Structure 1
Amino acid sequence: MNVLDGPTPVNLVATVRAVLPSLTPAAQSIARLILDDPGVVARSTITEFSAASGTSEATIVRTARALGFAGYSQLRFALAAAVARDEPERLVPGDLGPDDPLTDVIAKVARAESEALADTAAQLNPDRLGMVVEAVAGARKVDVYGVGASGLVAADMAQKLMRIGLPGHAYTDAHLALTSAALVRDDDVAVAVSCTGETPDVLAPVRVARRAGATTVAITNNPRSSLAGLADHVLVSAGRETAFRPGALASRISQLLIVDCIFVGIAQRTFETSDAALRATRDAIDGFRTDYRRRSRSSS
């Protein structure tokens, strides 16, 4: 199976960013030229691109195939379609500079995040998402592993599952994650969140959970990472790294989009129980707020 699910003009640039860390050094130099100016690459013959990149034509063809294309011609056509569809700055978003006024900061951050969401949506395979929804909805329990910024996403997923009555638990500590992973069964699901897909604190519990028989799910930017190789289902997020927004932070918004899609899919599948659970939890929180305001007024 092609982990890229067939690049299209819609997700081509996001796909190149996603697989960049897993490419050879020569292929990385080619991929960076594609990211820097896809329009120039689209207009270049393979001989011209070979001279510009300082790599052989054979390396360019191998890189095109690594990106999911039959050859360089097909890659050029896809890049040309992407350039024709999008504004140049859409393909090469302006980076944040240390002297940017806050008006530019707002615009650039908003654009980067909206593009991350659009790229993630374009890459998100509905069939694979459906399999994840089915597995999580029917699980005895759901472990969610993540550290750092991905730990925040793991906590968000666990909280959402709890709101609809599903036993989800987030683990941001490797020892606790390993403890829980050692006790999973074949009717459990282990979800791992990692931008790079190479985070040791996430890989270790996933390996244990996989050996124990749990269904494993990866949410990662890199579909060719170690984490992706351990997962039964891989959902690919997108996020453009900048000087002020390292990869993990840039990807958080797109990881949250995937979590929201999983949550909504489960809520649809289990509508009666999910709707009742959402109403019960909402009433409990609203009641707590009402009581707190009442007590506050009385004490004053």
Structure 2
Amino acid sequence: MNQTFKNKSTQMRIRSIYTTLSDKERVMAEFILDNPEKIIHGTISGIAEELSLADSTVFRFCKKLGYKGFQDLKISLATETANEMKDVHEKVSKSDDEKTILEKIFHSNIKTLEDTLEVIDDKDFARAVDVIIHANKVELFGFGGSNVIAMDGYHKFIRTGLPVSAQTDSHMQLMSASQLKKGDVAILISHTGHSKDILDILETVKAQNVVTICITGFTLSPLSQGSDLSLFTLSEETDFRSEALASRIAQLSILDALYVNVMASLENKGQSALKHVRKAIQKKRL
């Protein structure tokens, strides 16, 4: 089985590669998501005919999801459906009152965190912690909403005592990226992994042999394919909230987990740096 999809549900597999799919593949993807029971009880030729696709197209899509073929997909869907509990995440409707929306948003965030925990590769995460600890310098990059996440990461990692930086202006980010060198680490944050700005940063730092860690929602995006280490988030879009917005809670949590792991590994050195930070900001309090 493709290691990218190991132990992942069919829904997770589809959502993680959705933006990379062709029009025909999206037809198949959406049919699986909306009609899993038809896949379970159908045949490859019957599904292909209903969707006006060739049998080979359906088969190749099954393979793209990491299955051996259509039968393997059917078995997986049947198992998932049998074990499936009612999702705590429900779509927000215009008739919901404030308390109901509050509960649904919290449940949505909880589900995003649970799903993200399922798709993160333990080995890649451990390697990310290790390269950050041994980096000469760590710099975080992100544009738009992802820049808010990058700045929050900077706010955390500056407490470690490690050389760390982040910029808000797009030109400054590119200029700063051009000064990184071998031995440095770049953390690149983008939900889709298709942003031209973040891909320009990736191209710049890769040319200088900088180790790259990306935090993104799509396994086959140019960002994840080009980065040394990829930490994936998984979130769902709703009527009033985009998938990118929902993913931010997971992005923040990944950075939290990286920071705590780094601090734990640094031991006394990290605690000493944290004490210096606390002493400095104490002056800002009355």
TM-score by length of 2: 0.92
The question of whether the paired residues in 1 share the 8 Å contact of 2:139 and 2:165 is answered with yes
Which of 270, 273, 284 is the matching residue for 1:274? 270
The question of whether the paired residues in 2 share the 8 Å contact of 1:216 and 1:232 is answered with yes
Partner of 1:161: 157
Distance 1:285 1:169 in 2: 18
Pairing 1:56–2:54 present: yes
The question of whether the paired residues in 1 share the 8 Å contact of 2:5 and 2:65 is answered with no
Distance 2:199 2:25 in 1: 26
Provide, for residues 55-76 of structure 1, a one-character-per-residue CA deviation record: whole Å limited to 9, x for no partner: 2322121111111111122222
Provide, for residues 46-103 of structure 1, a one-character-per-residue CA deviation record: whole Å limited to 9, x for no partner: 234334433232212111111111112222222222222222446xx53223333223
Amino acid at match of 1:26: K
Provide, for residues 247-272 of structure 1, a one-character-per-residue CA deviation record: whole Å limited to 9, x for no partner: 32121111112112211221222122
Stretch moving more, 52-61 or 19-28: 52-61
Partner of 1:18: 16
Displacement after TM superposition at 1:206 (Å): 1.5
Distance 1:102 1:87 in 2: 26
Pairing 1:188–2:184 present: yes
TM-score by length of 1: 0.88
**1:271 and 1:119, CA in 2 relative to 1: closer, same or farther beyond 3 A?**
same
Amino acid at match of 2:19: P
Stretch moving more, 268-277 or 200-209: 268-277
Distance 2:252 2:75 in 1: 32
**1:194 and 1:126, CA in 2 relative to 1: closer, same or farther beyond 3 A?**
same
Distance 1:195 1:149 in 2: 9
RMSD of Structure 2 on Structure 1 (CA): 2.1
Amino acid at match of 2:132: V
The question of whether the paired residues in 2 share the 8 Å contact of 1:150 and 1:193 is answered with yes
Percent identical among aligned pairs is 29
Amino acid at match of 2:61: T
Partner of 2:261: 265
**1:168 and 1:39, CA in 2 relative to 1: closer, same or farther beyond 3 A?**
farther
Distance 1:146 1:122 in 2: 24
Partner of 1:77: 75
Could you list the runs of 5+ residues in structure 1 that have no partner in the other structure?
Answer: 293-300
Distance 1:268 1:74 in 2: 42
Amino acid at match of 1:193: I
Distance 1:288 1:66 in 2: 55
The question of whether the paired residues in 2 share the 8 Å contact of 1:159 and 1:168 is answered with no
Pairing 1:44–2:25 present: no
Partner of 1:104: 100
Give secondary structure in 2 for the equivalent of 1:96.
Answer: coil
| Structure-to-structure mapping, 1:1-300, within 5 angstroms | 2=2, 4-9=4-9, 12-89=10-87, 93-286=89-282, 288-289=284-285, 292=286
**1:106 and 1:44, CA in 2 relative to 1: closer, same or farther beyond 3 A?**
farther
The question of whether the paired residues in 2 share the 8 Å contact of 1:181 and 1:209 is answered with yes
**1:55 and 1:276, CA in 2 relative to 1: closer, same or farther beyond 3 A?**
same
The question of whether the paired residues in 2 share the 8 Å contact of 1:173 and 1:201 is answered with no
Amino acid at match of 2:77: L
Give secondary structure in 2 for the equivalent of 1:4.
Answer: helix
Distance 2:14 2:126 in 1: 25
The question of whether the paired residues in 1 share the 8 Å contact of 2:40 and 2:77 is answered with yes
The question of whether the paired residues in 2 share the 8 Å contact of 1:135 and 1:189 is answered with yes
Distance 1:3 1:220 in 2: 18
**1:241 and 1:134, CA in 2 relative to 1: closer, same or farther beyond 3 A?**
same
Displacement after TM superposition at 1:286 (Å): 4.3
